[in-house]
Amino acid sequence: MKIHKIIATGLGTGYAPIAPGTAGSILGILLFWLLNYLLGSLNIDSQISLLLNLFAIIFVLLIGVYSIKKVHTVWEHDASKIVIDEVVGVWIAIYAMPFEWQYYLYAFILFRFFDITKPLFIRRLDKMPGDWSVMLDDVLAGIYSLIVIQVLFYFNVI
């Protein structure tokens, strides 16, 4: 159970007394930056890096849902200390963007906006019962963020 609590709380960032979701999102940005820094330092081809990033997102998503399922036996549904969903969501938001700090900042800001305001179908997913709903609302917030960032990038706004 201890490993599931560590995973579900985003290495403990979910225990932050103020804004645990933001703390989890910052952890996500830092971990994704570290992953891409390591891939770059190993001279991994950019197409392979994209694929490895996608595998990392899927892996953490699946491990995260499993850990959420385990901690739900002792914590309430979508407890504020569960932030692995924020880690996955912000990873989706930054996926396939250039390895530059400003894009990570844009991803963070947009993801937090969508995660907090929960527009369109995000709120509906958030209100669904079950372990997957904890993760899926943040996945959708990440997808919305990624779409906005990609459109802004395509039109040279950012």
Q: What is the pTM of this model?
A: 0.94
Helices (H), the chain: 2-8, 20-41, 46-71, 84-94, 101-117, 122-127, 131-154
Q: Which residues contact 96 (CB under 8 A, 6 or more apart)?
A: 50, 53, 146, 150
Q: For the chain (length 158 residues), average pLDDT per consecutive 10?
A: 96 96 98 96 95 98 97 87 97 94 96 96 90 95 97 93
> How open is the CA angle 99-157-87, to the nearest 5 degrees?
40
- 64 neighbors 135 (Cβ within 8 angstroms): yes
pLDDT at 126: 87
CA distance 30 to 112: 15
Task: Kindly state the DSSP code that residue 13 receives in the 8-state scheme.
Answer: G
CA distance 52 to 54: 5
| R_g over Cα of the chain | 15
Residue 76 pLDDT:
83
**Structural domain boundaries in the chain:** 2-154
